[in-house]
Structure 1
């Protein structure tokens, strides 16, 4: 598979793309992936999730000492908490947006 920083992986001729790859490619080609990412950012800011994650990072840095914290440390601490604390309403809205996109593009009927 060919990989590029600016484009999703391009399947080799002998390998058929799977459903996830097809959907990801359609999302990127249509610009829908960027729109969904922006919508997600907005919703996470609106519900206070982003501020909550900042506070977790700050508290961790205070406890460990600012000069002793690496980006990897923060990622390892914040990622599980961040994923677990995304409000169900935001998850539901994003899922509905993705389902609508799939239905509009007849991708919801694929095996």
Structure 2
């Protein structure tokens, strides 16, 4: 599937989740699980450390510097749970 088609599909799925109210529920579960796993504190600590040594301090550079670590360290169990919630929501709306 071409990248442009995937972008359109992603936008449509997100719109449906927002309209149904499921988006807020999924975000709440995601944040709770990341917090419970210690991921939130770990990313905060790493970000603070990078900010202390960054000269000059730049939000954009700080964000781009921590983003790969943040994305790659999300616990697999959290990814699976959130993906399952998204699938359940989509199946409910497509049935």
User: Where does structure 2 lack aligned partners over 5 or more consecutive residues?
Assistant: 1-7
**Residue equivalent to 2:61:** 73
Give secondary structure in 1 for the equivalent of 2:23: helix
| TM-score, structure 1 normalization | 0.72
Per the alignment, residue 86 of structure 1 pairs with 74
How many residue pairs get aligned? The number is: 88
TM-score by length of 2: 0.83
Equivalent residue for 2:36, pick from 32, 35, 46: 46
Higher helix content, 1 or 2: 2
**Which consecutive segments of 4 or more residues in structure 1 shift more than 4 A?**
none
Higher relative contact order (CA 8 A, sep 6+): 2
User: Which residue does the alignment assign to 1:35?
Assistant: 25
Alpha-carbon displacement from aligned partner over 1:21-53 (angstroms, at most 9, x marks no partner)? 332221111111111111111111110111111
Taking the aligned partners of 1:90 and 1:47, their CA distance within structure 2 comes to 9
- Give the structure with higher Rg (CA): 1
Name the counterpart of 1:13. none
What is the root-mean-square deviation in Å for CA atoms of aligned residues? 1.6
Structure 1 residue 63 displacement after superposition: 2.2
